Every structure is written in structure tokens, then in C-alpha cells.
């Protein structure tokens, strides 16, 4: 397509059609089916005749672009993401997690004048660092047990460690993962196989606390806005990301209500509850 939205053929370069409907290729096929252009036409027609299969839901008869299931999942994904982001933003404000906040991490590696320090090794001292900027990165799947985001705990914030003046500035940066937050990011949950997992046993960088509040609160206006989350949603479901229907995760109605109650102040964080585990599991 050109900039004005007009279809232009990649073979004859005329507007109004593409290669699959190119009259020049059709003429070439009629004249000599074994010519290069004739074989191209035949290939395009054979491909058009093949039954369509959706790369998202795996059903036949439509493509990803026309998948009604994916459209519904995208809408739900966006609604869940906004709820999650608003809840996390409120939790950050309540904990003073803004620019200038001092944070102590208990389970993360960091670099010192003598090299890397790793949790659990002799002489390990939990690092203290300052949050220099606040641009949280956490998908709402982090709050859904069983998802890879919940178990792997990717980067959430970065702090700059204190006490190593000779270390290059870039080596002072330590990534923090989203911690377990009652009612928001559950600690216990089921994995892909239905077994019970303790997130603190699987994820690293999630055991940290704010020891001194920041001087500048996190402005969550953009992060929680529908236009920004819409872009995130579009990227998540893009075909090149290979997302499929079977990988879709969502909150229960009970969790959505709890998120809403916390956001609007009907309940406090101390009243938030993690999803109940199956009764037959321990």
C-alpha cells in the first residue's frame, strides 16, 4: 500500500490491485503456464485457494486479523492491564516508591569494587540503592499465577547502588523485580502443570523494601492511560510475537472487583487477599 492507502501492484506497479490479481501475470499464465510469470500466477492462485487457518485460535475459515476470539481477548487484556497498573501505581505511592527512594534488596546480585556479590554467598551484604527514575515495567500477567511472567519476574525498576564510588556508573544499576504484593501479585499459585509454586522460590530480585521514601511521587497518568495500554495490547497480540489463544490469561471477576475496591479506596492493602488455592493442594 502507498502512503494514501491505494493498493499498488508489486509486479506491474499499477494501482488498484496487488500481485495476486495482476492482469499482466494472468496474461502471462494464459500465454505460457510454464513461464516464470505464469508460474508466479499459478502459485498465487494456489495459495488463495488454500483454506484459511487462524494463527491465534487455530480455527479454520478466518485469519488472525478477523479472529473474533482474539478481538475479545484484546479487550479483556486491556481492561485487566489498566486495573493492574492503577493498583500497582497506588501501591507505589503508599510505599513512597518514587524518585529518590532508598531501597534495600535481599536477593539480588550487584557489582562492587571486588566484583559481583551473589545472594547466599559468604559475606553477602544486601545492597542499598537509590531509585533515580521511575518508569515501571511490569505486565499484568505478573499478577496471574502460572504465567511465565509471574514465575520469572522480569525487571520492574532500577536502583543505583550506594557505597561503591569507584565502580563505573553503569555497573551500579541493579534491576528490581515486582515483589509479591497481597491481592495484587500473589506469592502462592499454580504452575503450568497444576502444582503449587511459591513465587519466592522461583523468582529472583523480588525481596526488597523501601527504607526511605522518595521526594517525588510516581506520576502514573500516562502509564495507566487507555491509549498507552492500547499500544501495549497491540504489541502483545502482534503476529510476530506468536501469541496464541491457549496462552491467554485473565483475572477472575472476584479479582477484578478487589482491584477496583482497592483503587477507589473501599478497602486497604491489608484487606487484599490472594486467590485461594485448591482445597486438595497444600
- For residue 70, the model assigns a pLDDT of 96
Domain count, the chain: 2
Same domain, 82 and 20: no
Q: Residues 117, 218: one domain?
A: yes
15 and 108 share one domain: no
Q: Residue 139 carries which DSSP code?
A: -
Residue 60 lies in a domain: no
In a domain? residue 65: no
Which of these, 126, 124, 133, lies nearest to 159 by C-alpha position?
133
Whether residue 61 lies inside any domain: the answer is no
Q: Are 172 and 259 in contact (CB under 8 A)?
A: no
Indicate if 11 and 136 belong to the same structural domain: no
pLDDT at 192: 67
User: 30 and 134: one domain?
Assistant: no
Residue 282's pLDDT is 41
Which sign does the torsion angle of CA 119, 123, 126, 129 carry? negative
In angstroms, the CA 177 to CA 197 distance is 18
Residue 42 lies in a domain: yes
Total-model pTM: 0.79
**Looking at the structure, do residues 257 and 126 belong to the same domain, yes or no?**
yes
Q: Are residues 46 and 81 in the same domain?
A: no
The answer to whether residues 188 and 100 belong to one domain is yes
Rounded CA gap, 151 and 276, in Å? 18
User: Within this chain, do residues 97 and 41 fall inside the same structural domain, yes or no?
Assistant: no
Quick one: pLDDT at residue 5? 55
Lookup: cell for 124: 553477602
Q: What is the DSSP letter of 12?
A: T
Residues 188 and 247 placed together within one structural domain of the fold: yes
**Which residues lie below 8 Å from residue 209, measured CB to CB, with a gap of 6+?**
103, 104
What is the SS3 assignment for 273?
A: coil
Please choose, from the candidates 77, 76, 79, 73, the residue with its C-alpha nearest in 3D space to the C-alpha of residue 57: 73
Looking at the domain assignment, is residue 277 inside a domain? no
Which of 186, 182, 206 minimizes the C-alpha distance to 262?
182
pLDDT digits (tens, 9 = 90+) for 180-192: 999 999 999 877 6
Task: Tell me, yes or no, whether 56 lies in a domain.
Answer: no
Q: How far apart are CA 180 and CA 49, in angstroms?
A: 51
Express each pLDDT in 41-92 by its tens digit.
888 887 777 778 899 999 988 989 889 999 999 999 999 999 999 999 999 9
Residues 108 and 239 in one domain: yes
CA–CA separation, 198 vs 273, rounded Å? 16
For the chain, residues with pLDDT lower than 70 are 1-5, 192, 278-282
Distance (Å, whole) CA 187 – CA 197: 8
Domain that holds residue 128: 70-271
Count of residues in the chain: 282
Q: Looking at the domain assignment, is residue 281 inside a domain?
A: no
Judge whether 278 lies within some domain: no
Q: Both 20 and 152 in a single domain?
A: no
C-alpha cell at 49: 485457494
Amino acid at each position: 500500500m502507498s502512503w494514501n492507502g491505494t493498493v499498488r501492484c508489486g509486479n506491474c506497479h499499477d494501482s488498484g490491485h496487488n500481485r495476486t490479481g495482476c492482469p499482466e501475470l494472468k496474461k502471462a499464465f494464459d500465454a505460457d503456464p510454464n513461464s516464470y510469470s505464469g508460474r508466479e500466477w499459478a502459485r498465487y492462485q494456489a495459495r488463495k485457494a488454500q483454506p484459511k487457518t487462524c494463527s491465534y485460535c487455530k480455527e479454520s475459515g478466518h485469519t488472525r486479523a478477523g479472529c473474533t476470539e482474539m478481538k475479545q481477548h484484546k479487550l479483556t487484556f486491556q481492561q485487566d492491564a489498566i486495573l493492574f497498573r492503577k493498583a500497582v501505581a497506588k501501591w507505589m505511592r503508599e510505599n513512597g516508591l518514587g524518585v529518590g527512594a532508598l531501597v534495600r534488596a535481599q536477593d539480588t546480585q550487584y557489582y562492587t569494587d571486588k566484583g559481583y556479590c551473589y545472594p547466599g554467598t559468604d559475606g553477602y551484604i544486601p545492597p542499598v540503592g537509590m531509585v533515580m527514575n521511575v518508569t515501571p515495567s511490569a505486565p499484568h500477567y505478573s499478577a496471574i499465577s502460572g504465567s511465565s511472567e509471574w514465575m520469572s519476574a522480569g525487571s520492574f525498576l532500577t536502583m543505583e547502588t550506594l557505597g561503591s564510588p569507584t565502580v563505573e556508573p553503569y555497573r551500579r544499576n541493579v534491576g528490581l523485580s515486582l515483589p509479591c504484593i497481597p491481592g495484587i501479585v500473589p506469592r502462592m499459585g499454580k504452575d503450568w502443570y497444576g502444582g503449587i509454586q511459591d513465587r519466592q522460590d522461583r523468582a529472583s530480585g523480588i525481596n526488597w523494601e523501601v527504607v526511605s521514601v522518595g521526594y517525588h511521587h510516581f506520576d502514573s497518568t500516562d502509564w495507566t492511560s487507555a491509549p498507552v495500554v492500547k499500544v501495549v495490547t497491540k504489541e502483545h497480540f502482534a503476529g510476530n510475537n506468536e501469541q496464541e489463544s491457549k496462552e491467554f490469561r485473565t483475572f477472575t471477576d472476584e479479582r477484578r472487583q478487589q482491584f477496583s475496591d482497592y483503587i477507589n479506596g473501599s478497602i486497604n492493602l491489608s484487606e487484599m487477599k490472594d486467590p485461594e488455592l485448591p482445597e486438595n493442594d497444600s
